[in-house]
């Protein structure tokens, strides 16, 4: 009788433990499913979307004279300069160390079918994404003819990713275009990179300034 009772108690405990393990496995599976389907939201931060915890920039060269390593080194030097912008840390960009990765998860949109050569704008249909990348800026090196406009001028940035959330659509990732000759002008590249990440630039004086400071001096 004692052996039978002991066996029954053991069986009950095994059943309970198996039930607990099954519940834990199911809870973990549901949690993972939830993570996998979490929708990226728009934010009011300078990084613009909830899937970005720091400033991330990807670089890719589409010109035979410039390697990805050369471009990466150049962008890192430009990034070091824009960290002197009065709003770099105030905006939250300096909370975590910025990242520069070689290789972008999408091609340049300049010159794609439907590209607006009048204003240098990518077609909304090609830039619209269902989930934005982790990168705030894509930096491309291209030949000068890729960024030349019919009026003789050239453009240096276009929307790379447009994202819609809760009925509001807008640019969340910017493409910055550099031609090989501009790699000799670190100052200009730094100003353009600062502008691309959302920092204010005074183009009349070619200086990185805070719009708050400018208002205070009036």
DSSP string, 23-67: HHHHHHHHHHHHHHTPPP-B-SSTT-BTT-SS-EEEEEE-STTS-
Is residue 116 domain-shared with residue 187, that is, in the same domain?
A: yes
Model confidence at 130, pLDDT cuts 50, 70, 90, reads very high
Model confidence at 122, pLDDT cuts 50, 70, 90, reads low
Q: Within a domain: residue 48?
A: no
Q: Within a domain: residue 158?
A: yes
> Inter-axis angle of helices 186-196 and 68-82, to 10 degrees?
70
Q: Is the pLDDT of residue 103 over 90?
A: yes
% residues pLDDT > 70 (the chain): 77
CA–CA gap between residue 131 and residue 49 (Å, rounded): 10
Measured in whole angstroms, how far is the alpha carbon of residue 160 from the centre of its chain? 10
Is residue 25 domain-shared with residue 115, that is, in the same domain?
A: no
Is residue 12 domain-shared with residue 112, that is, in the same domain?
A: no
Is residue 18 domain-shared with residue 118, that is, in the same domain?
A: no
Q: Which domain holds residue 32?
A: 1-38
Q: Within a domain: residue 50?
A: no
Beta bridge pairs of residue 170: 163
**Considering only CA atoms, which of 141, 200, 133 is closest in space to residue 173?**
133
Which residue would you say has higher pLDDT here, 117 or 207?
Answer: 207
Is residue 6 domain-shared with residue 92, that is, in the same domain?
A: no
**Considering only CA atoms, which of 194, 199, 153 is closest in space to residue 176?**
194
Q: Within a domain: residue 45?
A: no
Q: Within a domain: residue 138?
A: yes
- Count of structural domains within the chain: 2
Regarding pTM above 0.95, the answer is: no
Q: Within a domain: residue 51?
A: no
CA dihedral of residues 44, 48, 49, 54 (deg, nearest 10): -110
The C-alpha angle with vertex 98 and arms to 190 and 202, in degrees rounded to 5, equals 30
Which residue would you say has higher pLDDT here, 37 or 72?
Answer: 72
SS3 call for 3: helix
């Amino acid at each position: 009788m004692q052996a039978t009772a002991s066996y029954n108690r053991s069986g009950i405990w095994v059943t309970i433990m198996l039930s607990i393990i099954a519940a834990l496995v199911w809870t973990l599976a549901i949690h993972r499913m939830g993570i996998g389907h979490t929708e990226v939201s728009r934010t009011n931060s300078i990084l613009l979307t909830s899937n970005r915890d720091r400033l991330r920039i990807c670089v890719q060269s589409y010109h035979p004279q410039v390697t990805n390593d050369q471009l990466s080194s150049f962008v890192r030097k430009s990034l070091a300069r824009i960290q002197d912008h009065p709003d770099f840390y105030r905006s939250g960009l300096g909370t975590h160390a910025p990242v520069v990765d070689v290789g972008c998860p999408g091609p340049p949109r300049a010159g794609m079918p439907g590209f607006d050569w009048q204003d240098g704008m990518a077609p909304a249909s090609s830039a619209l994404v269902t989930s934005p990348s982790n990168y705030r800026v894509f930096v491309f090196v291209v030949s000068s003819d890729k960024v030349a406009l019919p009026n003789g001028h050239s453009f240096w940035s276009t929307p790379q990713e447009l994202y819609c959330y809760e009925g509001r659509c807008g640019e969340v990732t910017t493409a910055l275009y550099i031609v090989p000759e501009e790699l000799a002008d670190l100052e200009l590249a730094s100003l353009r990179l600062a502008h691309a990440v959302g920092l204010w630039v005074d183009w009349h004086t070619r200086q990185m300034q805070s719009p708050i400071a400018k208002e205070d001096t009036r």
